[in-house]
Homo-oligomer: A and B are copies of this chain.
Amino acid sequence: MSDWIDQFPGLSRLDPELRHTLTDRSRIVDVPAGTVIFGPGKAPENLLLLLSGVVRVQQVSESGREIVLYRVHAHESCVLTTACLLAYEDYSAEGIAETDVSAAAIPRNVFEDMIVRSSVFRSFVFTAYSKRIADLFMVIEEIAFQRVDIRLAQKLLELQSNSGDVQLTHQQLATELGTAREVISRQLQEFQRRGWIAATRGRVAVRDQAALEAFAAH
């Protein structure tokens, strides 16, 4: 199991020697869907590089409301929250395996070692940081300035399966956007009235993708 490195574009140019270091001193972990990978009081001791699956990172407020910050997909890393949780334990973001997840776990000391020895690895890490931070900026821009109906349309398009299904409850969609369930219910009713979707218990089916896209482009 030494070839997973090639799955990461940013790492493919790593020296053979350093590739060995990485594969020898990391291990592959598999976690089932639903596992809380890190969270308040559960700092990650390893840097995770996702080989397959999806990790959802979200924030929980005191009042119990939640918002999804971003997702980590296969061939991406969890750098941001890893480093973040190392220094500041007192906030409330958590990472949850949305699907079964397989990942390469790199211990902290190996991470440090790679940072020192490889400019390719440094670049990989800082690029990953940049991407995540850009994601956070986008989240801020959207919740501060964008209407929820537009954002909901965008989310449905983003989360739909190949068959056009979104298997989420209204509450889960509300968490995606950091809003309340009732708001989602009303917006979905309006979308349905316009014939853009068909909503059933725990599922939304996209019926008119073009119209939804036109609306989302606002």
The tally of residues in A whose CB lies under 8 Å from a CB in B reads 37
The contact of A112 among B92, B119, B145, by CB within 8 Å, is B119
The contact of A127 among B59, B87, B130, by CB within 8 Å, is B87
A133 within 8 A of B: yes
A67 within 8 A of B: yes
Closest to A119 in B: B112
Q: Say how many copies of this protein the assembly contains.
A: 2
| Interface segment out of the listed A34-42, A136-144, A152-160 | A136-144
Which residues does chain B contribute within 8 Å of A129, judged by CB atoms?
83-84, 129
A25 within 8 A of B: no
* Shortest Cβ distance from residue A41 to the other chain B in the assembled complex, whole angstroms: 16
A217 within 8 A of B: no
Question: In the bound complex, do residue B136 and residue A133 qualify as a contact, i.e. CB atoms below 8 Å apart?
Answer: yes
Contact (A133, B130) CB under 8 Å given A61-B145, A144-B65, A144-B143:
no
For this complex, 28 residue pairs linking A to B, each with C-beta atoms less than 8 Å apart, are A59-B137, A59-B141, A61-B141, A61-B144, A61-B145, A65-B144, A67-B145, A69-B137, A80-B133, A83-B126, A84-B130, A84-B133, A86-B126, A86-B130, A87-B126, A87-B127, A87-B131, A91-B137, A91-B138, A92-B141, A93-B137, A115-B116, A115-B122, A129-B129, A133-B136, A140-B178, A143-B143, A143-B144
